[in-house]
A and B are shown apart, each in its own frame.
Chain A
Amino acid sequence: MRAGELLALLGPSGSGKTTLLRVIAGLELPDRGRIIFGGDDATRLPVQERAVGFVFQHYALFKHMSVAENIAYGLNARKRPGRPDKAEIKRRVGDLLDLIKLSGFADRYPSQLSGGQRQRVALARALAVEPRVLLLDEPFGALDAQVRKDLRRWLREIHDRTGQTTIFVTHDQDEALELSDRVAVLDKGRLAQVGTPDEVQEAPASATVLKFLGDTIEVEAIAEGGRVFVNGRPTPVAAPPGLVGPVKLYARPWQLRFAEPEHAHVEGVVRTSYRTQGRQRIEVDRAEGKTVVVEAANSARLAAGRPVGLQIVGGHVFAD
């Protein structure tokens, strides 16, 4: 974890990402391993002294306090010598309210706010104590799609402006790839890969990482002499050096093309197709029974039941 960066912890549910975040925060104790903050071992430090800001999926605002009181809570909770005076707290709360664009809402109660507004208040509350690291646990998980998108962009803006070191947990690949400087993919409690969004997409460390980052089609293939063959026909995908024999080839929906049967790597029958955001997605039932999704330009619709051939034009290869 580098200072000032925005790191996404990405993984399927049950992969341990929330647990890891809670261990970092000190809300749970690690079985083994250490937590290091800027060179200091924080493993045994109680939550209160870790100087982390934690934002919960369900906001966890104090219902009986106004927005301003919620934000000021961390400052008011400080012991005498370290506590800023009332005017200073008021000023800080005002600044944070400006930051989260809720200036007129200081005296409202959480029950009078929408989900997105509540999460912004929760964020301001966490930022108020000037944490060393800001931890967000699926911060947009409970919000609807449009609010999610707005908040995502807004969080990125805030991060760029404040340079606050931030870790956020998500199971949404798009969110992680759009928002973060680096992505850490977790799989069954282990760190599968850490890298920039480009790195993890272009060079996934394992099939699990690849599959988790988006829709994939999985095909049996043979690697031979640095090339990969599917159905006896060559593909443009290069095999990593040393990989020979039966392998698995993984391709994205946009790495498939419709092709004449003599060039096709995969054959199947169109099940259904639909348009989404300027593209067309076609679901194809393969002969072996699996359904694959193909993404293509918005051309004429393909009728259901029509047999088609698919050519693989890109992808990644991993040992079987």
Chain B
Amino acid sequence: MPEPLRPRRRLMQPSVIPGFGLAFGYMLTCLGLIVLLPLAALVARASGLGLSGIWEVATDPRVAAALKVSFGISILAALTASTFGFLVAWVLTRYDFPGRRVVDAVVDLPFALPTAVAGIALASLYAPNGLVGAQLAKLGIQAAYTPLGIYIAMVFIGLPFAVRTVQPLIVEIDREIEEASATLGADRLHTLTRVILPPLIPAVLTGFALAFARGVGEYGSIIFIAGNLPYVSEIAPLLIVIKLSEFDYKGACAIAVIMLAISFATLLAINLIQAWSRRRFGYV
């Protein structure tokens, strides 16, 4: 007697796309080996200190100052990169001008450049005797070897993220939507703020998150321009390197874990805001 068909509990809805098991397993393996394993090793190493030990490291004045510099300036730089990145993406997609493709390619350069090269270039440019630095010095502003320098370097490396995340959405803006707005009597500003910008917010947030994450983790391009003064312009990744060179592996791991925790919390928060804004704007 054939067994009656019983509904089988499934992990996912049946789909015409084959290979779910294989793809899912492959995805888990890759994610585990490439991303989670190193992070787990890091946490395991730091856990030798215990929570109180990590707390002690975190509240060490020099570490706390470095964390403040890293995260504070990253946020400011990501804000700037998002704003300018949006403008760059806007101009590149909405207007046709000679050399547009060249400019479009230039946007990606910070991606491709070895970060140390970028750091040296920025440092020589903004140093008090550099091309831009000399002009700034006349105004009484010192860019290189101050937190301002860190900010400049972070904006530089964060910009392509901000541009490339919004660009595809700006390309997709429907001309008819703008025309509809105009026939309803709205002026350009109203159209821009009420019709064009709101659907772009999730993408702008993604760009912000990426630029922020890159800024927090950046090392090479910053240390050349930062001056690396403890308590003033010392970034947390540098402090990790210093601890490592002093063979204080546990201390280095502790700072790393703290950075990891703060970064994860920030990115999670941004993701939640994004999910909310996607729902708010009515598309999945």
Contact = CB atoms under 8 A, between A and B. Distances in A.
Q: Do A and B come together as binding partners? A: yes
Interface of A: 25-27, 47-54, 56, 58, 60-66, 73-74, 77-78, 109-112, 122, 125-126, 128-129
Interface stretch (B81-89, B132-140, B172-180): B172-180
Contacts of A65: 282
B199 interface: yes
B282 A56 contact: no
Nearest to B280: A64
Contacts of B186: 48, 73-74, 77
Contacts of A129: 184-185
B195 interface: yes
B183 interface: yes
Given A48-B187, A77-B184, A63 B176 contact: no
Contacts of B283: 63, 109, 111
Contacts of B179: 27, 47, 54, 56, 60
Contacts, number: 77
A125 B280 CA distance: 21
A183 B187 CA distance: 34
Nearest to A125: B184
A66 B279 CA distance: 12
Contacts of A63: 199, 281-283
A54 B180 contact: yes
A48 B182 contact: yes
B181 interface: yes
B94 interface: no
B100 interface: no
A53 B185 CA distance: 9
B267 to A, nearest CB: 24
Interface string B186-227: 110010001100110000000000000000000000000000
Give the residue among B180, B184, B186, B280 with the most A Cβ atoms within 10 A.
B184
B282 A109 contact: yes
A61 B195 CA distance: 10
A73 B182 CA distance: 11
Contact of A52 (B174, B183, B194): B183
Max chain A C-beta neighbours (<10 A), residue from B180, B281, B283? B180
Given A60-B176, A62-B195, A64-B198, A78 B185 contact: yes
Contacts of A60: 174, 176-177, 179-180
Question: Taking each of B174, B185, B199, which has the highest tally of chain A beta carbons within 10 Å of its own beta carbon?
Answer: B185
A58 B174 CA distance: 10
A25 B180 CA distance: 10
A66 B195 CA distance: 12
A111 B284 CA distance: 10
B281 A64 contact: yes
A69 to B, nearest CB: 9
Nearest to B180: A60
Contacts of B190: 77
A54 B183 contact: yes
B75 to A, nearest CB: 26
B182 A110 contact: no
Contacts of A78: 185
